[in-house]
Amino acid sequence: MKSKFELLIDAMPVTVSQISSDMTYINVNKKLTEVVGLKKEDIIGKKVGFTQKNKDFSKLIDDIFDLENDFATMETQIFTKNGCFDYLLIASRFNDKKELILIGIDITPIKQQEKLLINKARFVAMGEMIGNIAHQWRQPLSAIGAITADLQIKKSLNQLTVDDIEKPLLDIATHTQFLSATVNDFRNFFKEDKELESVNPLEIIKKALLMTEHSLKANNIELKEEYVFSKKLFTFPNELVQVFLNLIKNAQDALVEKEIQNPWIKIKGYEIDGNNTIVFEISDNAKGIPEEIKERIFEPYFTTKNENGTGLGLYMSKIIVEKHCKGKLSVQNCQEGAKFTVVLKGKE
Ligand SMILES: Nc1ncnc2c1ncn2[C@@H]1O[C@H](COP(=O)(O)OP(=O)(O)O)[C@@H](O)[C@H]1O
Ligand SMILES: [Mg+2]
């Protein structure tokens, strides 16, 4: 006869298992048997994670026995009879640290939502980028237009000599090189980074600036820069460029919206911890973020810009910095405005 408590555990919509310190299952609930598609008696006594293709899984559990804390949570992928799912595992040691209770919650829907939001934010950023390309193209395109118009006039007046053609042709070639260089630059940003790359931190900032310089200038925003870097970063460079784009764009939005006199954006980069940690600061003089919303600005869809904002920029930036790059993104109000700080580990 099952006790009332056992019935209760069996009725739970999460997986529950009791694990001994030799890493075998002592007991499991009904949900776990359903997830792995095996009977209870086929699981009890077996090694933890024997149904998992992921070799790290049992190591993960093993590590928990060595932890200082009695409690740990982690996200991992679980192979079930229906495929692979994202799980949140909650582990708690008990019985004088000799046993472990492991609870697994299927967070696949939440993860999918997260991915959708990131994709959406990418599209928005891409839209902004196309706007930037158009902006960068306007000048060289009109220059080429003017050169050809000039040539046509000369030709119609029969004043065109071979010498007259040489300089305009060279100019056109220079302008077209610039046009194609911008396209290449922009195209690279939207490739998803698959592998970590060793990059110079300054390069990342410069790429982000290349794409924002024009609109900063158009809004009369002064750019202050201060860098002292000696280390490289081992990171996802294109994703980080997007983070800096978001932070610079937000600062610009705030400066423009509040019609700040003598607006500026300051980008600082330096190293701490004996050069092992790289810090970037992006600050502005747009009077900062009201305290009552400061906690909420990293939430998805939180925006104060009505239909002009998506509320995804900071949310995506936080995921990129903290989840993908294992760093820290934080905000602070300073005397004159907001300061966003990105902290990343330098390359060992
Ligand atoms: N530098 C800044 N100064 C003032 N407010 C800011 C700054 N950066 C972000 N914010 C606030 O944070 C909100 C969320 O930013 P974000 O996630 O990029 O979304 P969006 O820019 O689409 O509104 C903004 O709507 C704005 O209210
Ligand atoms: Mg934004």
Token pair recorded at residue 59: 């190591």
Res 222: pLDDT = 97
Q: How many CB atoms lie within 10 A of CB 128?
A: 16
Mean pLDDT of 92-104: 88
With CA atoms as reference, report the closest residue to 282 among 213, 347, 226, 198: 226
Mean pLDDT of 271-298: 94
Structural domains of the chain ordered from first start? 4-106 (3.30.450.20), 108-190 (1.10.287.130), 192-348 (3.30.565.10)
Strand partners for 341: 281, 330
What CA–CA distance (Å, rounded) separates 178 from 50? 58
Token pair recorded at residue 72: 């740990």
Res 189: pLDDT = 61
**Is residue 259 over pLDDT 90?**
yes
Rounded mean pLDDT of the chain? 88
**292 alpha carbon – ligand 1 mean position (Å):** 13
Alpha carbon 93 to its chain centroid, in Å, reads 34
Mutate to test the pocket of ligand 1, among 297, 299, 316, 318 (most ligand atoms within 8 A of CB): 297
**What order of strands is seen across the sheet that includes strand 222-227?**
222-227, 264-272, 277-284, 338-345, 328-333
Ligand nearest to the CA of 311: 1
* Closest Cα to atom 12 of ligand 1: 297
With CA atoms as reference, report the closest residue to 131 among 223, 245, 265, 301: 245
Token pair recorded at residue 344: 């990343």
* Closest Cα to atom 19 of ligand 1: 311
* Closest Cα to atom 5 of ligand 1: 289
Q: Which atom of ligand 1 is nearest to the CA of 124?
A: 22
What CA–CA distance (Å, rounded) separates 13 from 269? 48
Q: Which atom of ligand 1 is nearest to the CA of 249?
A: 21
**Who has greater pLDDT, 133 or 40?**
40
Q: Which atom of ligand 1 is nearest to the CA of 247?
A: 8
pTM for the model: 0.67
**121 alpha carbon – ligand 1 mean position (Å):** 14
Out of 41-45, 62-66, 73-77, which region has the weakest mean confidence (pLDDT)?
62-66
- Residue 199 pLDDT grade (very low, low, confident, very high; cuts 50, 70, 90): very high
Ligand nearest to the CA of 298: 1
pLDDT one-digit tens code per residue, 144-191: 999 999 999 999 998 888 888 888 999 999 888 878 877 776 666 666
**308 alpha carbon – ligand 2 mean position (Å):** 9
Phi, psi for 102 (deg, rounded to 5): -120, 120
Residues with CB under 6 Å of ligand 1 are: 246, 250-251, 254, 284, 286, 289, 297, 302-305, 309-315, 338
Mutate to test the pocket of ligand 1, among 303, 317, 318 (most ligand atoms within 8 A of CB): 303
**130 alpha carbon – ligand 1 mean position (Å):** 21
* Closest Cα to atom 8 of ligand 1: 250
